[in-house]
Chains A and B, each alone.
Chain A
């Protein structure tokens, strides 16, 4: 009741003070509609002029239209990239209603825009880094598990391939042929989505390590076989001549000499592995790539992807460095 009375009073007041002006019966709805139409026609300045006509409310007076008009004006100014005027419009609201969260957030956002670009990137970085770091940790876990599994698998496949027992060499040939000849993505899908239909359901991490492990074992198998066969045949004869068995000769004489030759290609494989782990994001694993993708889809912020690229580069650089050191150490006996 009081509301209606006050409304009528305001309307009366307006009619008196703004006589001749077209704001009949304080019909702000009409005004907002007109300004929207003007905006739709692209006449932003016209819309602003209309919105300006909503006066500052007196104490106790209905403030809704005023706040709406000033915020709309602020948005238009912001769209025109006139940040100062946009902030000024918000501050008109804040002068009367210091707690208005819409105006405050908008000012904060506008002030954020006024800051230099690196500042935004920095704050984004700080915001994204925790979840990216978690993703990177998972990537590293995958890499380490695969790095433990695949050299062993590769060595077994290599020894199997050069075995004189036909069934053994045939089986190893087949495994290498299959896992080198099909896409890793397909193998991961088969292990994670396909095996359940055979009654084997694996958690994503296990499935990822098995997939990556088999795939990299196949590649390393061929690399290790090549390295073993590149060792001078005389080494095996010399080892046998002092009475060593085949396995003793392999373990003590042949395989240790392959380490130096193995390091460059294995380093290559493991650097490829760091990036290949991104593929396991397709089987419900949240690692670095997936984390970056989630952030990007949430914030539409390219910084997340750029950060992921930087983290991948840091990881590959560290690995390159480590493998160079190992290669040097493994070949130390060749240095005079």
Chain B
């Protein structure tokens, strides 16, 4: 299990509804510093929504989010919940990296431009400083030689590695991966997996929502199985796979994947 003692992220009673559908149903979660959490579960189980709620891309109806011991994202005004000031929300997002299933690289910027964008525009670093940071990170994800090309010329795997570099350039305290390998051709999954694995080995705190069992098996400290907006089971990979032996739903899900 994790080494940290105080949770970096604490979610209490998170509830998100889309009209009739309750996507996330009163979920509680603590993530310690350096912990690698993997959330699995069938499509529509609410795992992506939960992830997006953490950096406030989804507005939740109930619950509280605490980051580094502070409640974030919402304020009470006149007995009603309101989203916090935009500046406060942006400041939180700047500390949490997010990687999307479909990369969402900025197509009008070069690879280097994409990675420099956060430090330059958000952190107001000088171009030289941002460039140094960006080149350093591109080196790490193995794409320094692609720095001057536009994203349109890259393969899916390369795009996702640039997207990871873009998030890392902000020096985030927590990384969120939303199905980072689901949009990739099977032969390109490996390079992205390796990049995330390296990052995990360096001690980055991360939450990975995925269908890719490799993440759960090889780098997770804890695996959560989510269904219909609830956590059905959680534990170390070994624990979860043993629970799966007894739980028909989890076993069925895992069998379909393997």
Inter-subunit contact A242/B117 (CB<8 Å): yes
Q: How far is the CA of A252 from the CA of B91 in the complex (A)?
A: 18
Q: Interface extent on A, as a size class? A: 20 to 34
Q: Which of B93, B150, B152, B167 contacts A240 (CB 8 A)?
A: B93
Q: Write out the residue numbers on chain B whose beta carbons fall within 8 Å of the beta carbon of A243.
A: 90-91, 93-95, 118, 122-123, 170
Q: Which of A238, A245, A336 contacts B100 (CB 8 A)?
A: A238
Contacts A252-B117, A334-B152, A336-B152 hold; do A241 and B106 have CB atoms under 8 A apart? no
Q: Does B23 belong to the interface (CB within 8 Å)? A: no
Interface residues of B in 195-247 (CB under 8 A from A): none
Inter-subunit contact B104/A333 (CB<8 Å): no
Q: Does A194 belong to the interface (CB within 8 Å)? A: no
Q: Write out the residue numbers on chain B whose beta carbons fall within 8 Å of the beta carbon of A29.
A: none
Q: Write out the residue numbers on chain A whose beta carbons fall within 8 Å of the beta carbon of B167.
A: 241-242
Q: How far is the CA of A234 from the CA of B159 in the complex (A)?
A: 14
Residue of A nearest to B93 (CB): A243
Inter-subunit contact A237/B104 (CB<8 Å): yes
With both chains docked as a complex, state the minimum distance between the C-beta of B76 and any C-beta of chain A, in angstroms: 21
Q: How far is the CA of A315 from the CA of B87 in the complex (A)?
A: 48
Q: Does B190 belong to the interface (CB within 8 Å)? A: no
Q: Does B108 belong to the interface (CB within 8 Å)? A: yes
Inter-subunit contact B106/A235 (CB<8 Å): yes
Q: Does A244 belong to the interface (CB within 8 Å)? A: yes
Q: Does B45 belong to the interface (CB within 8 Å)? A: no
With both chains docked as a complex, state the minimum distance between the C-beta of A243 and any C-beta of chain B, in angstroms: 3
Inter-subunit contact A334/B107 (CB<8 Å): yes
Q: Does B98 belong to the interface (CB within 8 Å)? A: yes
Q: How far is the CA of A239 from the CA of B117 in the complex (A)?
A: 9
Q: Write out the residue numbers on chain A whose beta carbons fall within 8 Å of the beta carbon of B86.
A: 245-246
Residue of B nearest to A239 (CB): B106
Q: How far is the CA of A336 from the CA of B153 in the complex (A)?
A: 6
Q: Does A170 belong to the interface (CB within 8 Å)? A: no
Inter-subunit contact B152/A234 (CB<8 Å): no
Inter-subunit contact A241/B57 (CB<8 Å): yes
Q: Which of A242, A252, A336 contacts B166 (CB 8 A)?
A: A242
Residue of B nearest to A243 (CB): B94
Inter-subunit contact A234/B117 (CB<8 Å): no
Residues 62-103 of chain B, each 1 if its beta carbon lies under 8 Å from chain A, else 0: 000000000000000000000000110011011111101010
Inter-subunit contact A240/B108 (CB<8 Å): no
Q: Write out the residue numbers on chain A whose beta carbons fall within 8 Å of the beta carbon of B95.
A: 243
Q: Which of A240, A244, A252, A333 contacts B107 (CB 8 A)?
A: A333
Q: Write out the residue numbers on chain B whose beta carbons fall within 8 Å of the beta carbon of A333.
A: 107-109, 150-152
Inter-subunit contact A237/B94 (CB<8 Å): no
Residues 225-255 of chain A, each 1 if its beta carbon lies under 8 Å from chain B, else 0: 0000000101101111111111010001100
Q: Does B155 belong to the interface (CB within 8 Å)? A: no
Interface residues of B in 179-204 (CB under 8 A from A): none
Q: Does B25 belong to the interface (CB within 8 Å)? A: no
Q: Which of B94, B107, B150, B152 contacts A242 (CB 8 A)?
A: B94
Q: How far is the CA of A241 from the CA of B92 in the complex (A)?
A: 9
Interface residues of B in 104-142 (CB under 8 A from A): 104-109, 117-118, 121-123
Q: Does A256 belong to the interface (CB within 8 Å)? A: yes
Residue of A nearest to B52 (CB): A237
Q: Does B49 belong to the interface (CB within 8 Å)? A: no
Q: Which of A232, A241, A252 contacts B121 (CB 8 A)?
A: A252
Q: Does B55 belong to the interface (CB within 8 Å)? A: yes
Q: Write out the residue numbers on chain B whose beta carbons fall within 8 Å of the beta carbon of A241.
A: 55, 57, 93, 96-98, 100, 167
Inter-subunit contact A240/B100 (CB<8 Å): no
Q: Write out the residue numbers on chain A whose beta carbons fall within 8 Å of the beta carbon of B102.
A: 234
Q: Write out the residue numbers on chain A whose beta carbons fall within 8 Å of the beta carbon of B100.
A: 234, 237-238, 241
Q: Which of A238, A240, A245, A335 contacts B87 (CB 8 A)?
A: A245
Interface residues of A in 136-174 (CB under 8 A from B): none
Residue of B nearest to A231 (CB): B107
Contacts A252-B117, A252-B121, A336-B152 hold; do A245 and B104 have CB atoms under 8 A apart? no
List 3 tightest A-B contacts by C-beta distance, closest first. A243-B94, A238-B104, A234-B104
A to B CB contacts below 8 Å, 29 in the list: A234-B102, A234-B104, A235-B106, A237-B100, A237-B104, A238-B100, A240-B57, A241-B57, A241-B100, A242-B97, A242-B118, A242-B122, A242-B166, A242-B170, A243-B90, A243-B94, A243-B170, A244-B90, A244-B118, A244-B121, A248-B122, A253-B106, A257-B106, A333-B107, A333-B150, A333-B152, A334-B107, A334-B150, A335-B152
New contact pairs (16) apart from A238-B100, A248-B122, CB-CB < 8 Å: A235-B106, A241-B167, A242-B97, A242-B98, A242-B118, A243-B93, A243-B118, A243-B123, A244-B121, A245-B87, A248-B121, A252-B121, A253-B106, A257-B106, A334-B107, A335-B152
